[in-house]
């Protein structure tokens, strides 16, 4: 094939991911050329500050403070790397209406407006891709779309938030408490000054919405995903997890059961022998079960300048390679937006194993009374750990249940809390057995 | 897009993988149709025995004993699932010459004749794909080709042989010795009656040749890959590995260092905290380092009817989707065959850490004498373990070295073996630190 004219990129924003993208385009120039038989050139970049010194090799004249120079200028593909919903959403819309292909790393926009944007892209006969919005450098969306077409997915489990995974790993490996681990993460740049969107599970829920929409072929609204963050995880929970052969992770889970999909973001006990248990610090991973391929795990860097830039660049390459092809190249093809193929009901019965940690006064008959309340509520117990006294006359009492519905667990605990010898209920955490 | 006529498949062989393929085509029919906007139909199947009862829903008239009915018949894509080099190689060649696309799971043919076949496919303007030849269901080749284009790869490490991984896992977890573990694997169908092509590393070397050719953009001949199998791994090695914080795996490794690629298949100590350490039993995994994406791991089922059928079906889908596209869709595009892009020298200096297990007579000065021979040969020691006596007056002495060239290790051991107090040299195994 002969060399074609360079493909022209307009970039919105010049932060960490954008500079990673530009640097990769420089040092892997030959590799990119070999893949697409043409060069990529950056024609316009929207920035706030024209005078800021930047660690990339772009000529000064590409920078502009006027978004219209990017959106209406001489560009083939618009790369949206501003983040946040507004004005990124409006810019993407304008770009698609101008018949420009769009690549974005913006999970918030795709999780909330993906459907509309995908239809707009189709209407304008251009592509909308967003590999970098989930799992950073891990090519999970494009692999599901391109290389696992032969599968219906039964479940998708992800460790999709590097900040919380870093915090939990530090608590597990270095015995830090939650507050110390957050400070450590902030110091190293793995957590923001206000870490709430990470530690409360919002970030993971956005990503699960995008990932599960693609895997299950059905629009999953982020508002349908119940979420629980990691702020209540104690040093004690971490220690019990280790003692019982588990690691605690913030898990994003989508499980198909007959005509229902159960979705949630929650802390979970993961068996130490499970591949997701070894995903440490800022790494991410996605663990899928397909009805043909069986179990599959993809593991890699969930954030960072170069890994995320790598995902953005692969979307750009995909667009350039397939620009003239009628094959449906949108990530969104079966994803957030687009044709609803399946018609599964989103539910959340929470039929799971649970870890329950409570504090009781140490006297005869306590365990028996509690166990019979569980039994009465159809909750059977898989294991019980009773530790030494707390110093006063209370003892911690830890249960792992067999699979039970969450409403039965809650009903049992409501009764159990009424016992005068139960002085506190510390934690309830899902124990994930990946069934 | 409107519905097109079905794509016609001719299948060579009807064993485990072929029946997996047919079954997936049945139960995921809708999913496949959604991906390619047309149906797949099997028009001819080459079998040895026309009367054999088979666990698939094909009409009797598709079966034939005449290969020409498949190769010259009314088929668009030939699926080669016979295995072995001959006559599979000749059949693939004939199919390509007949301008049929070819999908194969045949690692031996691709590793040895991939280059020629790829050029033949290009000449005839058809596609040759072989995802299932490496890593069973794991979509590793297509992910590298389609979704990691933006990366130059620095290293590729794989656990690519399920039989040896099953054997080593059983030795590690259940304390079996090598012979017992082989029998166990044979009983469960994870090892063949003659397991030599697995346990000697031949199978892994074929796969590494294909995988590293694609990752490094350069033809890697299987004859250039030194290999060492697992037949000499003892219960004692397994125990020392555990004690020192490692797991022993049969590792297929390709590492780029400046202008050289070091390739080999060998047993290795893998740190227990490394993601490859948790790859157990019949599972496979590939661990890559890209210069943009960083570390990446793909993990899944390396064999089996449905997982391997899934990989074959995804190649078929890829061909149907891109049949009219000029985009280079051959797996071989940058792989076994085709244009040699890089020009790296294949070398094998073995600059690694090593585990060395020897038996010595327990008397003063022994450790000092041995350590100074290592030092003289530029081998420095990272750790030493001396266990209790063997019952007689010999003791096992175990070293882990820092990184050293293999020739220096060998020179040191040659001298050390000459000491009268050294009664045996049990093992030398690479300790992989993934640097």
CATH class, range A7-135+306-334: alpha beta
Asked if the C-beta of B334 comes within 8 angstroms of chain A's C-beta atoms, the answer is yes
CA gap B85, B97 in Å, rounded: 18
A322 contacts in B (CB within 8 Å)? 325, 327
- CA atoms lying within 13 Å on the CB side of residue B252: 30
* Cβ atoms of B142 and A144 closer than 8 Å: no
**Domain B353-431 listed as CATH 1.10.1040.10:** no
CATH class, range B141-301+343-347: alpha beta
Residues 6+ apart with CB under 8 A from A72: A98
Instruction: Categorize the per-residue pLDDT at B390 as very low, low, confident or very high, splitting at 50, 70 and 90.
Output: low
Strands A260-271 and A246-257: antiparallel
* Cβ atoms of A228 and A204 closer than 8 Å: no
Q: Which residues pair with A42 in a beta bridge?
A: A9
CA gap A40, A59 in Å, rounded: 15
A31 contacts in B (CB within 8 Å)? 149-152, 217
* Cβ atoms of A429 and A354 closer than 8 Å: yes
Best mutation target, B20, B152, B271, B327, to test chain A (most A CBs within 10 A) = B327
Q: Which of B151, B290, B307 is opposite residue A293, by nearest beta carbon?
A: B307
From first to last of the 435 residues of chain A, give the pLDDT tens digit: 345 899 999 999 999 999 999 999 999 999 999 999 999 999 999 999 999 988 898 999 999 999 999 999 999 999 999 999 999 999 999 999 999 999 999 999 999 999 999 999 999 999 999 999 999 999 999 999 999 999 999 999 999 999 999 999 999 999 999 999 999 999 999 999 999 999 999 999 999 999 999 999 999 999 999 999 999 999 999 999 999 999 999 999 999 988 899 999 999 999 999 999 999 999 999 999 999 999 999 999 999 999 999 999 999 999 999 876 544 445 544 433 334 456 777 777 778 999 999 999 988 899 999 999 999 999 999 999 987 776 778 899 999 999 999 999 999 999 999 999 999 998 999 999 998
Instruction: Tell me which residue has tokens 């489990």.
Output: A157
Residue closest to A197 by CA, chosen among A166, A159, A229: A229
**Domain A141-299+343-347 listed as CATH 3.30.360.10:** yes
A-B contacts at Cβ under 8 angstroms: 194
B122 contacts in A (CB within 8 Å)? none
Length of chain B: 435
- Reported ipTM: the value is 0.93
Return phi, psi of residue A280, to 5°.
-115, 160
The DSSP line for B237-267 is HHHHHHHHTEEEEEEEEEEEETTEEEEEEEE
Q: Is A53 a catalytic residue?
A: no
Domain boundaries defined on chain A? 7-135+306-334, 141-299+343-347, 353-431
Strands B394-401 and B381-386: antiparallel
Percent above pLDDT 70 for chain B = 94
Asked if the C-beta of B342 comes within 8 angstroms of chain A's C-beta atoms, the answer is no
DSSP code for B144: H
CATH class, range B7-136+306-334: alpha beta
Q: Which residues pair with B370 in a beta bridge?
A: none
Please report which residue ranges of B124-201 form alpha helices under DSSP H.
140-147, 162-174, 178-187, 196-199
Whether A152 and B28 lie within 8 Å, measured CB to CB: yes
Whether A149 and B317 lie within 8 Å, measured CB to CB: yes
């Amino acid at each position: 094939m002969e060399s074609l004219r360079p493909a022209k990129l307009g970039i919105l924003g010049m932060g960490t991911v954008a500079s990673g993208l530009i640097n990769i385009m420089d040092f892997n120039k030959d590799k990119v050329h070999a893949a697409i038989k043409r060069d990529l050139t950056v024609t316009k970049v929207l920035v706030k500050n024209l005078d800021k010194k930047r660690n990339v090799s772009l000529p000064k004249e590409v920078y502009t403070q006027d978004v219209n120079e990017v959106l209406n200028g001489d560009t083939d593909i618009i790369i949206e790397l501003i983040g946040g919903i507004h004005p990124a959403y409006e810019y993407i819309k304008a770009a698609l209406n101008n018949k420009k292909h769009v690549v974005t790393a913006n999970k918030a926009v795709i999780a909330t407006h993906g459907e509309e944007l995908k239809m707009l892209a189709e209407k304008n006969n251009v592509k909308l891709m967003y590999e970098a919005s989930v799992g950073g450098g891990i090519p999970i969306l494009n692999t599901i779309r391109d290389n696992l077409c032969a599968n219906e997915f039964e479940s998708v489990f992800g460790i999709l938030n590097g900040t919380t995974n870093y915090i939990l790993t530090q608590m597990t490996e270095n015995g830090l408490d939650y507050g110390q681990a957050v400070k450590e993460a902030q110091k190293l740049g793995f957590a923001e000054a206000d870490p709430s969107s990470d530690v409360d599970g919002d970030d993971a829920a956005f990503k699960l919405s995008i990932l599960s929409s693609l895997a299950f072929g059905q629009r999953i609204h982020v508002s349908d995903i119940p979420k629980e963050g990691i702020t209540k995880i104690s040093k004690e929970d971490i220690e019990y997890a280790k003692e019982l052969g588990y690691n605690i992770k913030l898990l994003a889970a989508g499980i198909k059961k007959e005509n229902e999909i159960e979705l949630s973001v929650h802390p979970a006990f993961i068996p130490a022998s499970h591949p997701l248990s070894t995903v440490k610090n800022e790494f991410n991973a996605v663990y899928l079960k397909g009805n043909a391929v069986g179990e599959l795990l993809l593991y890699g860097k969930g954030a960072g300048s170069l890994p995320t830039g790598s995902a953005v660049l692969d979307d750009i390459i995909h667009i350039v390679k397939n620009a003239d092809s009628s094959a449906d190249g949108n990530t969104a093809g079966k994803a957030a937006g687009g044709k609803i193929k399946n018609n599964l009901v989103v539910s959340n019965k929470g039929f799971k194993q649970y870890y329950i940690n409570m504090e009781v006064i140490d006297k005869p008959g306590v365990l028996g009374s509690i166990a019979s309340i569980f039994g009465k509520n159809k909750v059977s117990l898989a294991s019980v750990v009773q530790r030494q006294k707390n110093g006063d006359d209370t003892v911690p009492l830890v249960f792992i249940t067999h699979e039970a519905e969450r409403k039965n667990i809650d009903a049992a605990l409501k009764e159990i809390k009424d016992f005068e010898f139960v002085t506190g209920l510390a934690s309830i955490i899902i124990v994930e057995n990946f069934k």
